Amino acid sequence: MPKLPATGLVLTKDGERHLEACLHSLAFCQELLVVDSESTDRTRDIAAACGARVLVRPWTGPADQFRFAFAQITTPWVVSLDQDEILSPELSASIQTALTDPGETAAFLCPRASFYFDRFLRHSGWYPDLLPRVFRLDSTEVHVDPPHYGFRPHGPTRRLRGDILHYPYANLAEHVAKINAYTQTAAQDLVARGVRPSLLTALGHGLARFAKIYLLRAGFLDGRAGFILAVHGFFYAFHKYLRALELHQSGPGAAAP
C-alpha cells in the first residue's frame, strides 16, 4: 500500500523502551519525524534505524517544541504519538482508511488504553481518553494546561476504531517520580494564578480525586490497578495544593520554575 500524506511525529527524551514499536506502527506515514530532547540512551539510534528524520533540540516546553516540530512538516496530515504509545493494528487500519477519504474532517479522535500495574485500564477515567492525534496541520494548534498538553483542531472531528496502546510507566516508582515532577509544576501554576490553598483545601482535593477515580469513574472495576491509581490520584491532588501552600509560605519568587 502506498504511503499516506501524513507525518508520524514523535517527541522523545530517553525513550528507547517502546520507540521501535511506536515508529513501526506509523510505517504507513509518508515521513517519520522524531524531535529529540538530547537523549542519553539509544533513542536517536533507534529512530534513525526505523527510517525517521531525527532533529535534536533542547526541551523548552511542549508548546514551543511542538511548534518547532510543526514548522518542519510538509505533509497536510500529522499522526502524533508519544514515545510510549503504539497504534493497535485496528487503529492503524482505521487511520489509513480515514486518510484515504477524510472529507472536511479536521481531526480524528483516537481512543487510548493505558497499561497500569497489571492491566489495560477500561474505567477509572482513563478510558476511552479520546485524543485528536490525527489532524490537519493547517487547522490544529497546541494548547498547554500545565503540566499537560493537547491539540486543539479547528473544524469537525470523527472518532476512529481501535486504540492507542499506552505504556506510561515501567513501574510504580516511575509513576511516583512523575507525580513528584508534575505536582511541582502544577503548584507553581496555581501560585501564578493567585490561588492560596490551605491544608484543608489540599486534603479536600485529595479525597475528591480519590472518590472521582474509584467511585464516580468506576475505578473499582479495574481491580487492584484501579485502587492503586485512585490512591495515587489522592496523593497527586493533595501534594499539588500542599506544595502551592509551601510556595506561598516560602515568600516572593519561590514559585518561579
C-alpha cell at 18: 517502546
* Sequence ranges of the domains in the chain: 4-166, 172-250
Gap between the Cα atoms of 242 and 206, Å rounded: 10
Nearest C-alpha neighbor of 136 from the set 155, 149, 116, 120: 155
Gap between the Cα atoms of 29 and 116, Å rounded: 29
Q: How confident is the model at residue 9 (pLDDT cuts 50, 70, 90)?
A: very high
Segment 219-244 mean pLDDT: 97
Q: In this structure, what is the dihedral angle of CA atoms 228, 147, 34, 75, given to the nearest 10 degrees? A: 110
C-alpha cell at 206: 485529595
The amino acid occupying position 160 is L
Selected from 3.50.50.60, 1.20.58.100, 3.90.550.10, 3.40.50.12710, the CATH number assigned to the domain covering 4-166 reads 3.90.550.10
Q: What is the pLDDT of residues 153-203, one digit of tens each?
A: 999 999 999 999 999 999 999 999 999 999 999 999 999 999 999 999 999
Write down the pLDDT at residue 250.
Answer: 81
Q: How confident is the model at residue 236 (pLDDT cuts 50, 70, 90)?
A: very high
3-state DSSP call for residue 140? strand
CB–CB of 77/134 below 8 Å? yes
Q: What is the pLDDT of residues 88-123, one digit of tens each?
A: 999 999 999 999 999 999 999 999 999 999 999 999
Segment 241-251 mean pLDDT: 89
pLDDT > 90: what percent of the chain? 90
Write down the pLDDT at residue 1.
Answer: 65
83 vs 248, residue with greater confidence:
83
Nearest C-alpha neighbor of 162 from the set 133, 191, 200, 202: 133
Write down the pLDDT at residue 257.
Answer: 46
Segment 220-227 mean pLDDT: 98
C-alpha cell at 23: 515508529
Q: How many CA atoms lie within 13 A of 214 on its CB side?
A: 17
Write down the pLDDT at residue 253.
Answer: 53
Gap between the Cα atoms of 68 and 62, Å rounded: 10
Q: What is the pLDDT of residues 24-37, one digit of tens each?
A: 999 999 999 999 99
Model's pTM, two decimal places?
A: 0.87
Nearest C-alpha neighbor of 14 from the set 83, 106, 80, 62: 83
Give the largest Cα separation in the chain, rounded: 61
Q: What is the pLDDT of residues 126-151, one digit of tens each?
A: 999 999 999 999 999 998 876 678 99
Cα distances from 152 to residues 53, 105, 186, 240, in angstroms, run 25, 13, 21, 26
C-alpha cell at 34: 522524531
Q: What is the pLDDT of residues 26-69, one digit of tens each?
A: 999 999 999 999 999 999 999 999 999 999 999 999 999 999 99
pLDDT > 70: what percent of the chain? 96
Q: How confident is the model at residue 251 (pLDDT cuts 50, 70, 90)?
A: low
Q: Which DSSP string do the residues of 43-94 spell out, in sequence order?
A: HHHHHHHTT-EEEE-----HHHHHHHHHHT--SSEEEEEETTEEE-HHHHHH
